[in-house]
Structure 1
Amino acid sequence: MLAYERFGSGEPMVLIHGIGHRRQTWYPVVRRLAAEYDVIIADLPGHGGSSALDRTMPAGEALRAAFAELFTGLGIERPHVVGNSLGGLIALELGENDLARSVTALSPAGFWVGARDFLYVRALFGSILTGARLMRPFAGPLTRSNLGRKAMLGWLYAHPQNVPAPMALGDLENMLRARATIRHLLAQAYTFAPGEPRGVPVTIAWAQRDRVLLPYQARRARRIMPHATHLWLDGCGHVPMPDEPELVAETIIAGARRAVPIDPRVIVDSTGSLA
């Protein structure tokens, strides 16, 4: 079961966070999105309040299955899906499986070239997990100062001072609790390989000041997904929501609006052609 919160009304929109994070990372943009959409924010398996990741199947398959089960449990079909980092990769794959009405991926994972290229990301998270464990006894005072939050969170955000101290401390605790899942997911990382375009509008927005996924991955994404809308988020780090909430919210809304509404008077058969 995935822990989730729900806000607003309208067409359903599911927001998926990245590895080591939790659903609260979407709070800076929820109010704006909920003014137009039925917004669902969920914790990844093994993160936050969610149950453990199913390790009887490959990690990517288990993640997709968890969200497909969430959609069924909530009674929603083909929601708009938005993801950041690993959540962006999950969103793209849900779109590939025709489980999303639109996809907006913010600095999505999966566009590295191969396993050797992924060593940087794995080494980064390994050092962050070690640092989080060592700084845990001092985390309270550190999170209460802008300088401390910059030292702790500068690798994720362009403006770590925008993250409230309780949120920063909660994120650190969550990362430490989720470290076994994080290591399991990093060990099974893979490159995203899109199929033929399925008519699902895709927006891929890259943080201009990303220190986790390096800029060349944006070029690769543009090359292998020319049908998608590709954007840059000015002044943002890898997790852009606290850095520029209005910019991120408007990017998400613009991506969702690219989905063409289905007229209920038009019947579409199982092959996707007009009946």
Structure 2
Amino acid sequence: MKVASGIAYDRQGQGPTVLLLHGTGGSHRIWRPIVERLRADRDVISVDLPGCGSSAPISAPGPVTNAEFARRIGAFIDELGLQHVHVAGTSLGGHVALLLAAAGKADAAVAFSPTGFWNKRQSLYTRTLVRVSRFGTFLSAPVVPALAATVFGRNLLLGTSFANPAGVPSEDAHAVVTDLRTSAGFAGFAQANSERLGGQPVSTSEAASRPDAGLRDALAKVPVTIAWAEQDRFLSPRQAEVARLALPHARHTTLPNCGHLATWDDPALLTELILTADFANHESH
């Protein structure tokens, strides 16, 4: 792993640059099946967000917001001298991807089941489920290697996150669980996961469907894709309709037979959406 602007990252392939962002308590490793498909003709950079994987937590005082994550990834983009970047993110990473596009740091954005289009009850549910999931990783830590090696064990470990946990290779199943357990900055994600798109405190679905006009206008100028997992247990697919209302210029689509972490459920479809990100807004009309 290399480090720039305090962000640990993996870089593979050659061609136009694609930047991949994971969600709460994850790491760059969640993107492995996508990287394998993109690296033949793309410069693929997958990062560990601050407080996850090999990246140190944000030490500045005060709550950590989605805007702060976006600012730090923006500084990372600048330090590497990246231009004409396409960014894709899942969950909180999708939220950050949208903010980067709105700030002019990305030429296109793809957000897989992004946070920010929820109401207060849905946000609380997701934060609770994530905390419970992390607590479970501590209880299961001694037996994770053995569980990850079996279909039954992967279903048990990953049934909330994937639609088809049995299809996740054992080493990757082990990585998903370990990354969540060892996330040094896990507590810092609480504020970011209490915001709607644009940084306002989460409240109602109606409010989430009406982001700041400046943010909406900025995203209307950039090819944006919002793809919601059909079997998402962390972020209800009902939030996809809120996203449609919030960002009517985007390309909106569904990920059939996919769970919240869809990278292993249908890597070919996710890869296709990333590769066609340039055409997103054109196709939506």
- Distance between the aligned counterparts of 2:258 and 2:244, measured in 1? 19
Given that residues 53 and 62 in structure 1 are in contact (C-alpha distance below 8 angstroms), is that contact kept between their aligned partners in structure 2?
no
The one of 199, 202, 206 equivalent to 2:228 is 206
The one of 214, 220, 234 equivalent to 2:256 is 234
The one of 231, 237, 240 equivalent to 1:218 is 240
Report what 1:267 is aligned to: none
Given that residues 207 and 232 in structure 1 are in contact (C-alpha distance below 8 angstroms), is that contact kept between their aligned partners in structure 2?
yes
Residue deviations 1:31-83 (CA, integer Å, cap 9, x gap): 22222321110011111111222433542232112211211121113411100
The one of 243, 254, 275 equivalent to 1:253 is 275
Report what 1:3 is aligned to: 8
TM-score in terms of structure 1 length: 0.89
The one of 185, 191, 198 equivalent to 2:189 is 185
Given that residues 116 and 197 in structure 2 are in contact (C-alpha distance below 8 angstroms), is that contact kept between their aligned partners in structure 1?
yes
**1:236 positional shift:** 0.7
Residue deviations 1:84-106 (CA, integer Å, cap 9, x gap): 00100000111111111000000
**1:256 positional shift:** 3.5
Pairing 1:73-92 to 2, within 5 Å after superposition: 73-92=79-98
Pairing 1:101-140 to 2, within 5 Å after superposition: 101-114=107-120, 116-140=121-145
Counterpart of 1:123, as a letter, is: T
- Distance between the aligned counterparts of 2:87 and 2:191, measured in 1? 25
Deviates more, 1:227-236 or 1:48-57: 48-57
- Distance between the aligned counterparts of 2:227 and 2:41, measured in 1? 21
Counterpart of 2:37, as a letter, is: R
SS of 1:175's equivalent in the other structure is: helix
**1:29 positional shift:** 1.1
Given that residues 67 and 99 in structure 2 are in contact (C-alpha distance below 8 angstroms), is that contact kept between their aligned partners in structure 1?
no
Deviates more, 1:2-11 or 1:224-233: 2-11
TM-score in terms of structure 2 length: 0.86
Given that residues 63 and 188 in structure 2 are in contact (C-alpha distance below 8 angstroms), is that contact kept between their aligned partners in structure 1?
no
Given that residues 54 and 62 in structure 1 are in contact (C-alpha distance below 8 angstroms), is that contact kept between their aligned partners in structure 2?
no
Counterpart of 1:185, as a letter, is: F
**1:184 positional shift:** 2.1
Report what 2:216 is aligned to: 196
The one of 21, 26, 35 equivalent to 1:16 is 21
Counterpart of 2:260, as a letter, is: H
Q: Residues 78 and 197 (structure 1 numbering): CA distance in 2 closer, same or farther, change over 3 Å? A: farther
- Distance between the aligned counterparts of 1:256 and 1:124, measured in 2? 34
**1:126 positional shift:** 1.6
Counterpart of 1:142, as a letter, is: L
Gaps of 5+ in 1: 261-275
Report what 1:65 is aligned to: 71
**1:259 positional shift:** 8.2
SS of 2:83's equivalent in the other structure is: coil
- Distance between the aligned counterparts of 2:63 and 2:107, measured in 1? 25
RMSD: 1.7
Aligned length: 258
Pairing 1:132-151 to 2, within 5 Å after superposition: 132-151=137-156
Residue deviations 1:136-163 (CA, integer Å, cap 9, x gap): 1111211110011001101110111122
Given that residues 9 and 46 in structure 2 are in contact (C-alpha distance below 8 angstroms), is that contact kept between their aligned partners in structure 1?
yes
Report what 1:96 is aligned to: 102
Q: Residues 257 and 219 (structure 1 numbering): CA distance in 2 closer, same or farther, change over 3 Å? A: closer
Gaps of 5+ in 2: 1-5, 199-210
- Distance between the aligned counterparts of 1:25 and 1:81, measured in 2? 15
| Structure number with bigger Rg | 1
